[in-house]
């Protein structure tokens, strides 16, 4: 069964991109020639999604909608229905995903963090679908020490198989190098069955007082309901100035190379 809906949480505060994000939502910051959020919708469309549920804050909703719909449909996205959903308060990534529950219903869905853009030619959503095999699946990368305090890290439930998949037995948000259960970090691409919504509805605030998506992944893992896919390359992080510079270089070069003479 193919996945038709993608949830794109884009309602974070974007403090690491101040002052750019004082007025402009982080998801609408331009990377080369289009806003970050458009890359995520295009990626979901390439994987076959026909509906994008974009979780925005109160101010961004109409701007996001205007970007996708004013002046006619964007090329390549003619068949994607854009549905902004408002997260009134930035209570965490898990809370943002929970806000999409009504729009998604009982369907499985891709989840893409808009401030992480895939490198050209390195889409992972299809691999997540294959890895999930009817369960949920999370995209992983082997992390250096520094990153273990900044990402969610999984508890492996099996060895990594030849096809780069493994079972996930749990997850911990920002454990740090001393407490990390592995080096495999969650990197912003997921495929969830709708059971994640029941888990998120019961979650209490975790690290940083936020409702953490990682805590819901922990629950899925403990029940044997989650697989992992270890990606070959990392994503481009446009949520920081340094990351945005790298993303601009990589995506700009790709754009120049693919332009007709």
Q: Given the rule CB under 6 A, which residues bind ligand UTP?
A: 9-16, 26, 55, 87, 90-93, 95-96, 113-115, 239
Q: 24 vs 130, which CB is nearer to ligand UTP?
A: 24
CB of 55 to ligand UTP, least distance (A): 5
CB of 50 to ligand UTP, least distance (A): 22
Q: 93 vs 226, which CB is nearer to ligand UTP?
A: 93
Return d(Cα 202, Cα 197) in angstroms, integer: 9
CB of 261 to ligand UTP, least distance (A): 37
Q: 92 vs 170, which CB is nearer to ligand UTP?
A: 92
Strand pairing category for 51-56 and 116-117: unpaired
Q: Which of 167, 45, 197 is nearest to 112 (CA)?
A: 45
* Residue indicated by tokens 């805590």: 215
Q: 27 vs 131, which CB is nearer to ligand UTP?
A: 27
CB of 95 to ligand UTP, least distance (A): 6
Cβ atoms of residues 139 and 191 within 8 Å? no
CB of 157 to ligand UTP, least distance (A): 25
CB of 90 to ligand UTP, least distance (A): 3
* C-alpha pair distances (Å), 55 with each of 162, 240, 260: 35, 20, 35
Q: 62 vs 73, which CB is nearer to ligand UTP?
A: 62
Q: 24 vs 91, which CB is nearer to ligand UTP?
A: 91
Per-residue tokens: 23 = 């007025």
Q: Which of 260, 233, 254, 243 is nearest to 33 (CA)?
A: 254
From start to end of 98-164, where are the E strands?
A: 109-112, 116-117, 136-142, 152-156
CA 125 to chain centre: 10
Q: Establish whether the linkage from the previous residue to 35 is cis, with ω within 30° of 0.
A: no
- Residue number of the CB closest to ligand UTP reads 12
Q: 90 vs 130, which CB is nearer to ligand UTP?
A: 90
CB of 103 to ligand UTP, least distance (A): 14
- Sequence-ordered alpha helix ranges (H) in 145-227: 176-179, 195-202, 213-222
Strand pairing category for 136-142 and 226-230: parallel
């Amino acid at each position: 069964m193919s996945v038709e809906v993608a949830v794109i949480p884009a309602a974070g505060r974007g403090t690491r991109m101040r002052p750019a994000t004082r007025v402009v939502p982080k998801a609408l910051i331009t990377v080369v020639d289009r806003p970050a959020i458009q890359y995520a919708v295009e990626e979901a469309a390439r994987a076959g999604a026909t509906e994008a549920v974009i979780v925005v804050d109160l101010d961004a909703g109409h701007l996001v909608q205007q970007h996708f719909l004013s002046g006619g449909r964007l090329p390549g996205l003619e068949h994607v229905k854009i549905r902004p959903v408002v997260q009134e308060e930035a209570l965490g990534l898990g809370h943002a995903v929970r806000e999409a529950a009504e729009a998604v219903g009982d369907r499985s869905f891709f989840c893409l963090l808009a401030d992480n853009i895939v490198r050209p030619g390195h889409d992972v959503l299809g691999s997540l679908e294959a890895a999930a095999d009817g369960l949920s699946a999370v995209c992983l990368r082997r992390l250096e020490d520094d990153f273990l305090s900044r990402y969610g890290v999984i508890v492996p439930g099996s060895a990594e198989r030849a096809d780069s998949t493994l079972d996930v037995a749990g997850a911990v948000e920002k454990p740090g190098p001393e407490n990390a259960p592995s080096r495999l970090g969650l990197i912003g691409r997921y495929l969830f069955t709708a059971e994640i919504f029941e888990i998120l509805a019961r979650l209490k605030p975790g690290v940083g007082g936020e409702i953490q998506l990682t805590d819901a992944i922990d629950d899925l893992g403990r029940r044997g309901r989650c697989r992992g896919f270890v990606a070959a390359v990392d994503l481009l992080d446009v949520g920081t100035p340094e990351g945005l510079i790298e993303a601009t270089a990589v995506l700009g070069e790709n754009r120049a190379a693919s332009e007709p003479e």
